[in-house]
Structure 1
């Protein structure tokens, strides 16, 4: 029996939102789920114990960055990523495909491979589909990703088709290269916001029968409405019995909209990046702690949040930490933001089981639109 299994628990009849359980070698993930981003085998500013306390079940790390430092061979020698970063739950590693998009000035790409010039020291890193799989097998994550090409959202039609077909060809090479049976290799559907290209990508990948499918190439500059329309067109193309992962998304509203369109897994740097910049997500909306009005506020960051930050510290104190440039400020706000995301997903899972996902979304929007 496979070590990976996706168990569908409930589907909301109005929206298609779904809740389930994704079984992996390092534990079960209740879906829909948000994965904090630990690019370099660390969720920035937080210990793994702090991440666990937020309710996070699964984290993400990055192949490209870990291949540069400390090197996949080092991680493998030290017992793999779980032991290396002291995280005993499931881990997903991206293949480096997003860096094909984000580091355009530092890479060259053709049908065979992509070659990066290291952003650290200028040395060259070659990634073929086979090497991307090999590196991820050395790292030892539970879920690994095919190498793909993420095109710009405004790429011309011929360029978009080239990226889609290259992604499909690379996926076949990744499938062929995989040797470990204790890792689930996910294919990645590309195609920007073009429904025909999304369908072309999905059709090619479904033939390879991956244990899960990701939707890549969104939240890269297109308008939110375009992203939602693309999800409307794409998620129905993917198998209902396998997990669906929306890569690199996003803000709380994007998670809710994605869940209501049938997405199961998410990751994004936004909660920690915003936390480092004095911006908090709360049940009443976004709070910018540098604002003068929080200077003497004795209340909690979010009165409805039970995380350690909201239980123990006032808005005034948290603001003081940022104004004084104390490192504790970004740590505490990152901790809260990830806890907020986890609570949001837990509430969504409950709403789906109770058949009220659409009403849950409307209630959130009404509260988030209030001024904080």
Structure 2
């Protein structure tokens, strides 16, 4: 039975090498780590209802500050009881600050000390995201874990720009902390380590952020177009710099290989759009690797998608039926495919956690990765590249 922790409490139960198994308390329940957070950008995990999510069993999902601020508006959500009530979700919610979305609006935003001014991708209206503003939005949404405003430095940025951006991110982080008293309303606040692809700047960012009393720390600025080896090198360098007694969150990186490599390097929390986006494109993750349900060879295949899987989709339907739905562009295809992919990711985390607790994680990891040796296509929030075995 899971121990129930108070919001902000983090208990590191054991390590297997540098892989960690722990517990994190939130206002909507205790999370078992390592944990994958399905992405519900606009108050919904695409193609799934809250009943589907309840059946799948995630303890936490992710929402997006930028999108929910623009539509339907954080103040409206607050008037309607907060994001949990608004979307009918009783588990925990992490909201990112919207920084990644804003900084990806090339030509439509301006960065200043006060914050970042940007144009809406919906109607072109102009808005300012200051550190205080993004905290206010997330407080209105009522998320369990809030993220500070940071600048996601583009891949290839030079050292001078990256160092200057790092200092700005730290100043913004301090303002976010000042705008949200510790554990007010039970809402946690995480800092975000930046520093681009310069190891010493990553170390400096971590050092500066650890002087601020955050409830956890995220590693940002990866999956932005770098190679698999570059991502892994920075992750292996950065994760050990962060406190042992705080949760560590790798943002927006998430193939099965990414998750297991991240866990091996001491990361506790993950999110990525990959499982839901791939589901809508007919690409499914299974115990024997990736499967493209569009292939003609499945047209008369009566077998379940993955005989080893216990999800509703695999218990109920054949590969032939799933292919038929997808080729016919039936909406049910997106739901059934998404159910399966989310189940696969959540079950992978459950198995990884059990392997850490039983001190057999490396053997488990090798077994899984043997089916994903050819995983090389960047995808996800930005590039979401896979990483090699460290």
TM tier relative to shorter chain: over 0.9
Match of 2:387 in 1: none
Name the counterpart of 1:10. Answer: 14
Distance in structure 2 (CA, Å) of the matches to 1:225 and 1:91: 31
SS of the residue 1:343 aligns to: helix
Q: CA separation in 1, counterparts of 2:58 and 2:185?
A: 25
* Match status 1:247 vs 2:237: no
Say if 2:39 and 2:62, in contact at 8 Å, map to a contact too.
Answer: yes
Alpha-carbon shift at residue 152 of structure 1 (Å): 1.1
Deviation at 1:160, TM superposition (A): 0.9
Residue of structure 2 aligned with 1:133, choices 132, 135, 140: 135
C-alpha distance in structure 2 between counterparts of 1:369 and 1:235, whole Å: 24
- What CA distance in whole angstroms lies between the structure 1 residues aligned with 2:168 and 2:179? 16
Partner Cα separation in structure 2 for residue 32 and residue 2 of structure 1: 18
Divergent runs of 4+, >4 A: none
Q: Please state if 1:117 is matched with 2:119.
A: yes
Say if 2:162 is the partner of 1:160: yes
Offset of 1:305 from its aligned partner? 0.7
Question: Match for residue 216 of structure 2?
Answer: 212
CA displacement at 1:370 relative to structure 2: 8.5
Quote how far apart the aligned CAs of 1:91 are.
Answer: 0.6
- Aligned twin of 2:290: 286
The one-character-per-residue Cα deviations of 1:265-303 (angstroms, maximum 9, x if unpaired) are 001100000000000000100001111111111111111
Between the aligned partners of 1:339 and 1:215, the Cα distance in structure 2 is 25
The 1-side partners of 2:109 and 2:215 are apart by: 30
Structure 1 residue 108: Cα displacement: 1.3
- TM-score w.r.t. structure 2 length? 0.92
- Distance in 1 (CA, whole Å) between partners of 2:198 and 2:359 is 31
Q: Per-residue CA shift, 1:315-357, capped at 9, x if unaligned? A: 1111111111111111111111000000000000011011111
1:267 aligns with 2:239: no
SS in structure 1 of the partner of residue 53 of structure 2: helix
Residue of structure 2 in register with 1:96 after alignment = 98
**How much has 1:55 moved relative to structure 2?**
2.2
CA contact (8 A) 2:103 2:109 kept: no
Label 1:370 to 1:170 Cα distance change in 2 as closer, same or farther (>3 A): closer
* TM-score (structure 1 length as normaliser): 0.97
What does 1:32-181 correspond to in 2, within 5 Å? 32-179=34-181, 180-181=184-185
> In structure 2, what is the equivalent of residue 277 of structure 1?
281
Aligned CA-pair RMSD: 1.4
Instruction: Identify which range, 193-202 or 59-68, moves more after superposition.
Output: 193-202
Q: Does 1:231 align with 2:239?
A: no
For 1:133 and 1:370, how far apart are their aligned partners in 2? 41
1:200 to 204, 208, 227: 204
| C-alpha distance in 2 between matches for 1:260 and 1:359 | 11
In structure 2, the partner of 1:183 is: 187
**Could you tell me how far 1:153 is from its partner in structure 2?**
2.1
Distance 1:187 1:266 in 2: 15
Post-superposition offset of 1:100:
3.0
